[in-house]
Structure 1
């Protein structure tokens, strides 16, 4: 929100035409990723605490810029998303970012998995985790900026977490989880847009609502799989004891 408000102010008041709200959001999101990486590594702060501070400060700065910018500007489309705001430039940016993410994941897959699950082990293996961690944060920040146009700032975190959470309850491995989460994200967006168009409802809210319902339904399936695994493990232990 700070980048969107700052871009709007610089474009309309200062007179810098190439700094659009979305480009301002990209700059600020990358800066926030850098701050998050430095503070969490050097100051020993919890990531969720730093994210909360950046979130609150960024939202406040963004609304202050919007307030001092002459003219009328409706922040609701950025808070809750509007598919009609997506331009050809946004689509091109999405395609380029997708290719970059696929390339990064393909090249650094093993290192990224090790970093996310056991950073200390990754460091002992001689991997420079600081730059890899910063790269992961920057890719996540750019992804968030793109999702703002579809579901908005308020609900963007839900679309990042719910498909992955559902896939985690169903998939049996990391690769399968990643592919399934990507597929679910696409299904939620397409189905949400269809429902919102048919009933004239906000697209972002409908997309997240569908994802939330599917997540709640997946909890039952995930619980059944967990009980099945526990039962299988108990049976194996009993067999070993008898043997």
Structure 2
């Protein structure tokens, strides 16, 4: 099979084209948001929210409400519960996050097991990229566009909040409101990525692109370009590999992202393990 056939053959199937479109949108949205999550140090919070939205998504399905509504409600509920557990005793924040998100995730699994439905809700947990329907793609595109527009319009405020919330408060911004807005966008982003990789692997798409870009540049503006480029490239390559190797599509997308992060971690010019040594050897030789 020629390289041209390798590229073109999958596009002859409508479900692959829809999967490719959904993967690209989800990868871009998750990557842009991941830049702020990495800078603020919210990687574990991203894991918590992505798991906490599961019962909200299931309940929204039962009630016939939009998935996004249930996700946002339970996303904020999870964050509120973390604050209550953390502030109410001797439990530290990391332990509070672990307790809350695992409990809510377990609640979601229980609700899935007892919910009578003609729809297999297990795709919410593990993803079903090749099963994306036109209605799913429309929802992914609409929510993805909403999140991207909000992030780009408020990027300066979010960036200042990430770097220096005290200064943000001093110039009249409300750090608490900005944090709440980011959490809301995080919940919506989880809904965007659910169909692609499922709840279990959403956190990978929310952390790996930003972490990879952070290794490759020290400028935040460049991170906002590098992270989506890396993430979208990994989504496309991962989907093609899953098609030709007959493997799980969502898992392959995340696996490629992890491979790209490993390359950056090793060979990034300034922050890579081997990149620093190579640069130091060149300076010594000069």
TM over 0.5: yes
5 Å-filtered alignment, 1:69-218, equals 69-70=115-116, 76-218=122-264
Give the number of the structure with larger relative contact order, counting CA–CA contacts within 8 Å between residues 6 or more apart. 2
State the 1:183 CA deviation. 1.5
Distance in structure 1 (CA, Å) of the matches to 2:149 and 2:58: 32
State the 1:123 CA deviation. 1.3
State the 1:167 CA deviation. 0.9
State the 1:208 CA deviation. 1.1
User: TM-score normalized by structure 1?
Assistant: 0.77
Residue 225 of structure 1 corresponds to: 270
Is it true that 1:3 corresponds to 2:56 in the alignment? yes
1:4–1:24 contact (8 Å) kept in structure 2: yes
Tell me: CA distance 1:81–1:143, structure 2 relative to 1, closer, same or farther (3 Å): same
Unaligned runs of 5+ in 1: 235-243
Distance in structure 2 (CA, Å) of the matches to 1:88 and 1:30: 29
Query: Rg bigger for which structure?
Result: 1
Aligned-residue Cα RMSD (Å) equals 3.2
- Judge which range, 22-31 or 49-58, deviates more: 22-31
Distance in structure 2 (CA, Å) of the matches to 1:40 and 1:104: 30
Count how many residue pairs are aligned between Structure 1 and Structure 2: 223
State the 1:154 CA deviation. 0.9
Residue 240 of structure 1 corresponds to: none
Unaligned runs of 5+ in 2: 1-53
State the 1:136 CA deviation. 0.7
Deviation string 1:157-207 (CA, Å, 9 cap, x unpaired) is 011111111111112410110111111111111111111111221111111
State the 1:220 CA deviation. 1.6
User: TM-score normalized by structure 2?
Assistant: 0.66
Tell me: CA distance 1:51–1:179, structure 2 relative to 1, closer, same or farther (3 Å): farther
Distance in structure 2 (CA, Å) of the matches to 1:27 and 1:74: 22
1:80–1:153 contact (8 Å) kept in structure 2: yes
State the 1:49 CA deviation. 4.2
Is it true that 1:54 corresponds to 2:105 in the alignment? no
Tell me: CA distance 1:124–1:21, structure 2 relative to 1, closer, same or farther (3 Å): closer
Tell me: CA distance 1:98–1:74, structure 2 relative to 1, closer, same or farther (3 Å): closer
State the 1:218 CA deviation. 0.7
SS of 1:225's equivalent? coil
